[in-house]
Structures are given as structure tokens and as C-alpha cells.
Structure 1
Amino acid sequence: MSVSQPVIRLKPKVRPQTFLHGVPWVYDNEIVTDRRAKKIAPGSLAILEDAERRPIAQVAVNPGSRLFARILDLDLKAEIDQSWLERKLARALALREALYDLPYYRLIHAEADGLPGVVIDRFNDVVVVQANAAWIENMLSELTVALTALPGIKTVYKNASGRARGLEGLDDVSEVLTGALPDVPVPVPMNGATYMADLSGGQKTGLFFDQRPNHAFAARFSKGARVLDVFSHVGGFSLAALAGGAKSALAVDGSEAALSLAAEGARRMGKTDQFETRKGDAFDVLAKLAEEGQTFDVVICDPPAFAPSKKALEAGLRAYERVARLAAPLVAEGGYLGLCSCSHAADLSKFRAASTRGIGRAGRSGQLIHTGYAGPDHPLHPQLAESGYLKALFYRL
């Protein structure tokens, strides 16, 4: 805590225990937003006080955002500096090294790892940083030094894509912060499959590590199966299924670049003859496959976030229901249907209800055999439902 740090204060009816007990976000309607508070520069560190002017925590402030402050440390004497970042990174790394034999994982999962608004994915000696909060944007140089102090990390790349940075008033300029970014896609081994990650031109950080346990679960019932992977990206479920002994796999996506990476992954696995791709709108392709009379033993649909906010919830739930309604008829009798959602606004019960309704409207019925979540390198913050965004439902129809 520095004597020069600005101070923000909770409104009288806001309970300070909320934040002392772990809630990491303070919204603008919970703060006394007087002229002094509004003049604090975005990303500044400040002291959060209760209505009686008693200090509660050190926070990062952005007056231009509805999320006015993020809790950084309840220790008022802590120095939020490079050494502080190094301790957070070391603690996060210890968990991942206990979980995984190879250095391919999410290293930092934002609030759940004590670094609010920060996402870092690791690809061997390269880390891709999504700095989605103004405070960490201001500390990128310290973060870069702290990251390269970790064993084996040589390159730090800042990925500035995504709507979160826009909400914080940050730029969309991606850049190498240190080291050299590979000029070709990086092969990533997971679940016996090989995935090709485009670290600078792909979606998000280039690969979705969160689905790792769900890929593995689907592969368990894919031996000898005909598999359909819709919204496949770089072949998430289809390549895992082939690694698990699937007879064939068809990957469907709207991105030719993503499908090319999936095909390269299949080639490196020696599975080219068992792998096909089809580019197109997923809803259109699902309808077309039904018209063709095609069926599959395993169908997995892993769409983008149809409900990224509460405002989009109802439309998103209708989209999830439609996916289920179109996918269910393609599942052979006794086959399996996997339906996924990465929308934090659509909680598990609402997503499950929409999916089950869609299956019923397709004239099918079945057992819900498994509910999956993100892997343990994407830990859940107990006081932040948004950190548990991923749901995967597996039905036997």
C-alpha cells in the first residue's frame, strides 16, 4: 500500500464482507462515483474502503468500465509489482506441472489464479497473453519479465483480440513482447491427438485447452465409430476421436483456415484417409446431412458463445435448442450426442433444458450420461460464476 494511492469508497448499503469473503469484482453502482473517483486513470491501483472509510483491499480501477474495480490483494501492505506477479505465476505453474506432463495448458485463468482479467496459454516455450484489463496492460513489461523468468519460457506474445479489451477501452494491437513467434502453426499433443495451433492468426490464443477432458470422454465411446464434429475449429473432438480409434471423422466449420489446420493435424497423426472436412454454416450443413440421409455413431456440437451476455440469453438458448434439434436426427440408434456451451450467461440448468427440449422436438429421446466442464487448468473461482463458463452434455439416444 502506498500513501499516494487513490481511494475509492463503497456506498453505505454495500456490505464489505462481500469482498472480504472473496467476491473479486466491484461494479460502478456499488461505488461512490464522485468527481475524484471518476478522474482516476484507467488501470490505476487504489485502496477500496467501506462506507466508514475503513480500508478493505487493494484494487485495480477503471472508471470507464461498468466493472469499476477488481480486487488484487486483501493485504493492504502488499506491493503490487514484478515480484508480486512472479509469486502468482509460480503458484499457478506448480498446479499445472502437477497436472500435466507436457507444457501445453492454460497457465493463468484470470481471477481464479489471482490475476483478474489476465489469460495466459502456454505452448511449450511460447506463452500467449490476453491482457483484458487496464491494470495488467499497464504492467505488461513487468509481466513479460516475470514470465520469461519461469523455466522454459522464451517468447511472450500479446493477443489483443476479443471484446473484453474493447470494454476496458484498450487497443486491438497484437505484438510480440519478447522472443520470436513461430511463423508456422505449432503442433500441440493432447489426448493422443496432434492439434495445429496458429498462435497469431487463430481464434483466441490459437487453441482451446478447456475442452481437453471432454475430448477425452468422447473418445472413450468413439472406438470403431463414425464421428461428426460440428463447429470443429481445428478438429477438437474429431482428432481426439481418431486417436481413440474412430473408424472415420467428419469435421464441419465455417473457417477454411481452421479446417486446414485440422487436416494437417490428421496428416501428422497418420489419419488422413479417415478424416474429412466440410466448410459451411453449421446449421445449413446439419440440415443438408439430414437430407442426404446420413447418420453417425457420435455427433458432437461445440458452437461459439450464443449467449455471451444476459441480454443475449433468450436468443442464445433458442440457438442451442436449434443445434440439438438439427443434430439429434443424425445420431444412429444407440449412438451418442455431445452438446457444448461456452456461454457463461446460460447456466447449466438453462442450457440442459434447451438441449433436452431440442432433442425432444427432433422426435428423439435418451439418457444424459455425463456432464463435463473445463479442465483443471481452468480453475473455477468459487465466487465468480463466469469462471465456470464451459458445459458439455453427453446423451445416449
Structure 2
Amino acid sequence: MAQLLLRAGKERSVMRRHPWIFAGSVARLSGRARAGDTVEVIADSGAFLGRAAYSPESQIRARMWSFDEATVIDHAFFKRTIAAAVARRSAHPQLTTQEGQRLIHGESDGLPGVIADRYRDTIVLQLTSAGADRWREAIVGGLLQATGCTRIYERSDSEVRGLEGLEPTTGVLAGEAPDADLQIDEYGVLLGVDAVAGHKTGFYLDQRENRRLTRDLARGRSVLNCFCYTGGFSLQALAGGAESVLSIDSSGPALDGARRNLARNPQLDASRAEWMEADVFTALRELKAAGRRFDLILLDPPKFAPSASHAQRAARAYKDINLLGFRLLNPGGVLMTYSCSGGIGLELFQSIVAGAASDAGRDAQILHRLGAAADHPVGLAFPEGEYLKGLVCQVL
């Protein structure tokens, strides 16, 4: 097995069990290794640090599979690791009844570059690293055995594959193609999942518990849901007894999906739902000019900052959207605002939101700090995994 030799002092993060080794930390590769091959990671002192997947085209030159010298990276390793991840979800009381849940969350589950989401009997799999791609057969076999699911569909079409020198790839890996009318029950609300062409793996499972909180907060309130996609927050607000829900998205197909989701739930009062196809920034300015006000506003924009290098530009966008949100709130109103940008940390995000409230001339207090659902854990040694952050703010 080839060895990846680190520069002096660069072993510290690995010894703290951080799973990434950057190109600048590498002294040299001893032996021959192709993309995705397993290499031994060796400190400058000669000490063994672990085994990792090698990725010669990425700035993340290696991703750790194991820090244990006795662990062999083979089919049995993936079978064990996948089974353990699935078992942890099965034992979590918040997840046992969920028809949609994340089974494997990359580095935080010990499988860098592997994302697996389950929608009833269908698993949607993303392989975003060279190592994950190299072991796809073992990963598919481990998922089938651990879950009893009959279908696995690959959605390895994320842009990050390009950073690994990998081409995008999609298609059936096991069983048949996903059902065209695939849907899940989320706390009594039926939601459609487009596993083939939808965002991410077909749905935003990470926001599940935050949608449930929206339901709890919505009773009797006028609600504005921005960047609504297929209406998950909107439908939970209706289920919670919202007086009205205006949902805005720039995508016509997404809004069509939202309307179909509403039709799946005849128990919800469709007359209280309004859908608007528009640029959210423009629409919010027009709503303000028209004198509209709301009791509960949701801001769940797309990723403005994929990395820290984009943070300054993204901060301006987050400031703008939250400023508009605060200006549209009634006295006592609640703003639920989110960032899924890895380049924006919670401290910076809170500072941005505070600045927006100040510029809007509104005094506000934080009621809740929010993150991803429990099936999206964050490894203590891998803080980069905490991409989703949210604040629930009430104006005084």
C-alpha cells in the first residue's frame, strides 16, 4: 500500500481525528496510488496515523477512512460502518417513524463523500469523493443489507465531484427506478420527492424538525415563506392553523410541485394558500411598497457562500434579505431565518441578522437557535459539517 507522508507539524489535525488532509500538508507520496485508492497516512516522525482515500486532483488530497492501524479498508469495513450508521438512526426516537431520513451523513458517519437518503423503500445515493466513488459497489451492497430497501438511485451530480476529477453520474444502482409519485409522510403531511431531478437527493430532509417548529408557531398567523421550493414549510404552516400562507419562489416547476403537494393533503385549507413566482428580493420590496405585513416570515435561501472565500459577498445578500424580512413583520412578529452556507458560521450569521434588525429599526430577541435534524449529525472533530444554521427572532 502506498504511503502519504505528511510535512512536519501537519499531523496535528489528523491526531485530533479531523478527516481531511489538504495538499499543503503533504510532503510526498511514497509508492503508486490512483484516485480513490487507500493509502497509509504517515507523520514526519514515521508514526502511523491512519488509512485514507487518495485524491490527487483535489485540494483535499486525502480523506480518512480510519485512524486505527488494525482496521482494514475492504468490503467488510463498509458493511460494518453502514450498518452502524443505520442502527444509530433506528435507535433514535425522533427518527423511528420517519419515512424520509438521512442514513449516511458523510464524514460525520465515518464515510467521507457518502450521502445516502432514504425515502420509504428507495435510497438516493450521492458519492462526491474519489474514495467513495472507488467503493461504490461495497457501499451499495452495505446499504441494501442494512436497510432491506429494494431500490437505490444514484444522484452523484453535485458540482463538488468536479473538484475530485470525477464526472457527474446518475442512474439506477439497484432495483427499479424511483416511483414517479414517490412521497413521504412527514408529521402527518404528505410530501412528494423527485429523486431523479429534484434538489439535492430529491428533498430537504435537514429542515424536518424546523418545519415542525413552523407548524407549532403558525397558528392564527399570516405567514410568508420565501424560497419555498416545493412548499414543505408552507404545508406545515397550514397544518398548524395559519390564517394565510404566501409562498414565493423563482422556479415555476418548484411551485408546480408545491401545488401538487397541497393537493396530496385534502385536510389542509387550500383557500389559505397563495403561490407567487418571482425573484424573492424583488417581491419583498414590492410587498413592502404595497403595505403588506406578516406575523411569521421564513427565509430559507439557497447557498450564498459555498466556501469561506465567498463569505463577504454572501454576507451582503444575507443582510439584504433579512433587512427586508424585518421590515415586513408586524409588531410581535417572528422571523425564522436560515443559512445553509458552509462559509458562513453561526457567529457571523447572527451578527448579520442583528445588523439587519438594527438597520430596519427593529428591536428583536432570539427565541431559538436551529440546525439540521438529528439524522444529519455533526462530528465533534469535523465542525465543517455544521452547514445549516437558523435563528428564530421575535420583534418587540
Shorter-chain TM-score above 0.5: yes
Q: CA RMSD in A?
A: 1.5
Aligned to 1:274: 272
In 2, the alpha carbon distance for the partners of 1:253 and 1:98 equals: 37
In 1, the alpha carbon distance for the partners of 2:34 and 2:139 equals: 20
Q: Which stretch of the first structure deviates more once superposed, 336-345 or 244-253?
A: 244-253
Q: Give per-residue Cα distances to partners, 1:261-317, cap 9 Å, x unaligned.
A: 111111112232222211111101111111221111110000011111111100101
In 2, the alpha carbon distance for the partners of 1:60 and 1:245 equals: 50
Amino acid at match of 1:18: S
Where 2:156 maps in the other structure, the secondary structure is coil
Answer whether contact 1:43 1:134 (CA < 8 A) is retained: yes
Q: CA deviation at 1:218?
A: 2.1
TM-score (norm 1): 0.95
Q: Give per-residue Cα distances to partners, 1:151-179, cap 9 Å, x unaligned.
A: 33111111022221111111112111111
Aligned to 1:24: 19
Aligned counterpart in structure 2 of residue 260 of structure 1, from 248, 251, 256: 256
- Structure 1 residue ranges (4+ consecutive) displaced by more than 6 angstroms after TM superposition: none
- Equivalence map 1:79-158=2 (5 Å): 79-99=72-92, 100=95, 101-158=97-154
Answer whether contact 1:192 1:240 (CA < 8 A) is retained: no
Amino acid at match of 1:316: A
Aligned to 2:369: 371
Residues 1:357 and 2:355 are matched in the alignment: yes
Answer whether contact 2:98 2:186 (CA < 8 A) is retained: no
Aligned to 1:74: 67
Q: CA deviation at 1:193?
A: 2.1
Q: CA deviation at 1:21?
A: 2.6
Residues 1:335 and 2:333 are matched in the alignment: yes
In 2, the alpha carbon distance for the partners of 1:302 and 1:233 equals: 9
Q: Give per-residue Cα distances to partners, 1:85-105, cap 9 Å, x unaligned.
A: 111111111121123213310
TM-score (norm 2): 0.95
Give ranges in structure 2 of 5+ residues lacking alignment: none
Answer whether contact 1:211 1:375 (CA < 8 A) is retained: yes
Identity %: 32
Aligned counterpart in structure 2 of residue 288 of structure 1, from 286, 289, 292: 286
- Equivalence map 1:109-258=2 (5 Å): 109-258=105-254
Answer whether contact 1:191 1:243 (CA < 8 A) is retained: no
Aligned counterpart in structure 1 of residue 323 of structure 2, from 315, 325, 336: 325
Answer whether contact 2:153 2:178 (CA < 8 A) is retained: no
In 1, the alpha carbon distance for the partners of 2:276 and 2:48 equals: 58
Q: How many residues align?
A: 390
Answer whether contact 2:248 2:277 (CA < 8 A) is retained: yes
Answer whether contact 2:193 2:202 (CA < 8 A) is retained: yes
Answer whether contact 1:213 1:372 (CA < 8 A) is retained: no
Amino acid at match of 1:311: S
Where 1:150 maps in the other structure, the secondary structure is helix
Aligned to 2:56: 63
Residues 1:46 and 2:42 are matched in the alignment: no
Answer whether contact 2:191 2:264 (CA < 8 A) is retained: no
In 2, the alpha carbon distance for the partners of 1:268 and 1:382 equals: 40
Aligned counterpart in structure 2 of residue 10 of structure 1, from 6, 10, 26: 6
Q: Give per-residue Cα distances to partners, 1:119-167, cap 9 Å, x unaligned.
A: 1111011111110111111111121111111233111111022221111
Q: CA deviation at 1:17?
A: 4.4
Q: CA deviation at 1:79?
A: 2.4
Aligned counterpart in structure 1 of residue 310 of structure 2, from 309, 312, 330: 312
In 2, the alpha carbon distance for the partners of 1:366 and 1:219 equals: 21
Q: CA deviation at 1:183?
A: 4.3
Q: CA deviation at 1:382?
A: 0.9
Amino acid at match of 1:103: E
Answer whether contact 1:157 1:177 (CA < 8 A) is retained: yes
Q: CA deviation at 1:77?
A: 2.9
In 1, the alpha carbon distance for the partners of 2:365 and 2:248 equals: 25
